[in-house]
Every structure is written in C-alpha cells, then in structure tokens.
Amino acid sequence: KAGVTQTPRYLIKTRGQQVTLSCSPISGHRSVSWYQQTPGQGLQFLFEYFSETQRNKGNFPGRFSGRQFSNSRSEMNVSTLELGDSALYLCASSLQGRDTQYFGPGTRLTVL
Amino acid sequence: QQQVKQSPQSLIVQKGGISIINCAYENTAFDYFPWYQQFPGKGPALLIAIRPDVSEKKEGRFTISFNKSAKQFSLHIMDSQPGDSATYFCAASMGYALNFGKGTSLLVTP
C-alpha cells in the first residue's frame, strides 16, 4: 500500500498570506490528523477528521482550519500567516482514529 | 502545558550499547503509549507501542517498559547501531490526539 502523501513538500509564503496544504491518507484509512512540528514546541496536535467531520481540535487559533473530503483526503488551511507559523506540518492517517497513526513526510512551510 | 515529559534531550551511545529514553505523564486517562522514530526530512514512524495493561513489550532490539503507578515509561534499544541514530519521540493518547514528548536526539557512534 502506498503511504501517506503530502503536497507540496516545501512552501514559502510571506506574512499575511494564506496557505492550503494537502494530505492523501493510506487507502482504507478514514481518520486524518494534522500536527505542527517546530524546534521549540515539538509536535503539537492541530485537529482530527473522520468521515468528513472534525472530531478533535487542538489548542490553535481559528486561523488554522481544515476539512476532509468524501474520499478521506484532507486539506488544512492557515490564513493571515505569521512568522511563527513556520513549521513542518505533518499529516497522519489511521483506520478509525484510535489506532496506529501513520505519518506522511510533511510539508515544510516557511513564512518570510 | 507539556503533558508528556521526555528525557534526555540528547544521547550519545557507542555501537553495541544500550540506549535508554524515559518519559513521564500526568494524565491517568492516557491508555496508549507509542514511540516514534524520526529521521531528518522524514515523518515520524511508529516503532513500538504499549497499553497500560502490560508492563513490558519487546519487539526485536526495542523494548518498552511501563510503570503505571509511577506514570512512567521508557524505551530501551539493545545493541544500538549507527543506523539507529535518529530522533525518538514518546507519546501518550486517550483518544484521537497524540501528545508527544519533546524528543530525544540519539547518536550511536561506531
């Protein structure tokens, strides 16, 4: 089976812009979670989607949003980018959510 | 507030030695404790995981020891190899979100 894929792999934006990241889960997986990884804060949970519904949300501002499509693919959007949003954004998929999460390679976002 | 505390931050071990990484948690509702390995430029990959009904789980050279009363768990890497050089993260979960430790950078010297 193909693993979790994320596009794009690298992205450079300027402050104030918005960005959309995409994640394709492993075939058959219905749960998709998003995490932000930074050197200072480590890996932090953003949100989790299952069957197109957000089931869980981490402690991030409303500028961070996401959605899931009927084929389980997911997108996350960050609006009004700030310098502190520079991070590696990781997507993870699992069958139902409460089982093993498999991570993609991440999207490296740099905000200038 | 960091829900999972991990130590040490970095670790240097000679080839063939034992690498030990420790984690502690506060929330007794956590019921799933995985360890992830991450190489530069890659996403974290699941190494081994344990649930609180067992005190130890071994897979190859990797062993998780779990102490429910102390709210601590640790990863032991036996016969450490240079290829094990990576960042290791412990995590804890009670549902859908993984709460990660800050990570341990392991270097195994030849």
pLDDT digits (tens, 9 = 90+) for B29-68: 999 999 999 999 899 999 999 999 999 999 999 999 999 9
What pLDDT does B95 receive?
81
Would an 8 Å CB–CB cutoff place A24 in contact with chain B? no
Identify the band that residue B8 occupies on the pLDDT scale cut at 50, 70 and 90.
Answer: very high
Say yes or no to pLDDT of A1 above 80.
no
A48 interfacial to chain B (CB closer than 8 Å): yes
Q: Do B41 and A33 touch (CB under 8 A)?
A: no
| Subunit contact B44:A44, Cβ cutoff 8 A | no
Contacts of A37 (CB under 8 A, 6+ apart): A43, A44, A87, A88, A89, A90, A106
Work out the average pLDDT over A74-94: 97
**Confidence label for A90 from pLDDT (cuts 50, 70 and 90):** very high
Mean pLDDT throughout A93-98?
87
The span from the first CA to the last CA of chain B, in angstroms, equals 38
Say which DSSP state A25 is in.
P
> Given pLDDT bands bounded at 50, 70 and 90, which one contains residue A93?
very high
Q: Please name every residue paired with B72 in a beta bridge, in sequence order, or none if there are none.
A: B24, B67
The residues, any chain, with a CB within 8 Å of residue B13's CB and separated by 6 or more, are: B19, B80, B106, B107, B108, B109
Tokens (6 digits) for A77: 């959007």
- Say if A72 is an interface residue toward chain B (CB within 8 Å): no
Query: What are the chain B neighbours of A104 within 8 Å (beta carbons)?
Result: 43
Q: Are the beta carbons of B62 and B80 closer than 8 angstroms?
A: no
Q: Over 90: is that where the pLDDT of A88 sits?
A: yes
